[in-house]
Amino acid sequence: MAFVTLEKDGPVGVVTMNRPEALNALNIQVLRELDAVLDQAEEDESLYVLIVTGAGRSFVAGADIGEMSGFTAVEGKAFGVLGNQVFAKLENLSKPTIAAVNGFALGGGCELAMSCDIRLASEKAKFGQPETGLGITPGFGGTQRLPRIVGASRAMELILTARTIPAAQALEIGLVSHVYPPEELMPQAMELARAIAANAQVAVRQSKAAIRRGLQTDMTTGAAFESEAFGLCFSTQDQKDAMRAFVNKEKFTAFQNR
């Protein structure tokens, strides 16, 4: 992999967008490498949580405008389809994902962050969907995920004005969960990842799946998904061991994840 790396720290994987000379801009090669890395992470049963971040002073500054500038309509659509497929794979990964947004998260970078389950930001991070200022629409899910996260009115304002907002405003509108000084971002992301990894992983993954599926449907159907997930957990050893310890007033942390 030339531009996307996966490093393991115990049960936590760190995916780094590593094209700093281009502010980690997304081109076809980067998207294909990210796609392959996500497959690798999904298949690795020793990984419980994934952190996505960027090398240098940028998370991802957007899609590669130099590459896109000569696209035909057909090529543009194909690029959008590729980006949407990769980001959907990230969103639907069975394992929880945390975006550690260290710098610019514009266009495709903002869309990449929104495809993660939880978003943390550095005080230096900046967010935006600047595409209308370049004569295009968001292409990797921005028109769909942003209104679901911050509401239709705020999403309309951000996308239609092409404005960039600082991390503090991203926190205010609910685009990110926490903002940290730059030097604290990755330690805080790792602490959060380890807290998730310490719990029963069947329950963690079923909870994520129920939330993700429920967001795409009505309350009744979503509650049915939850009931299935809830019931499935009662077939696990973790549920039996943890509840037995609770009833016996014993401390329990030795999840077997089965």
Burial class (CB within 10 angstroms; exposed 0-12, middle 13-18, buried 19+) of 65: middle
Spatial CA neighbour of 129 closest among 144, 117, 222: 144
Which entry of 33, 43, 131, 250 is annotated as an active-site residue? 131
> Phi, psi at residue 49, to the nearest 5°?
-140, 145
Question: Is there a catalytic annotation at residue 131?
Answer: yes
Which entry of 7, 33, 45, 111 is annotated as an active-site residue? 111
Active site residues: 111, 131
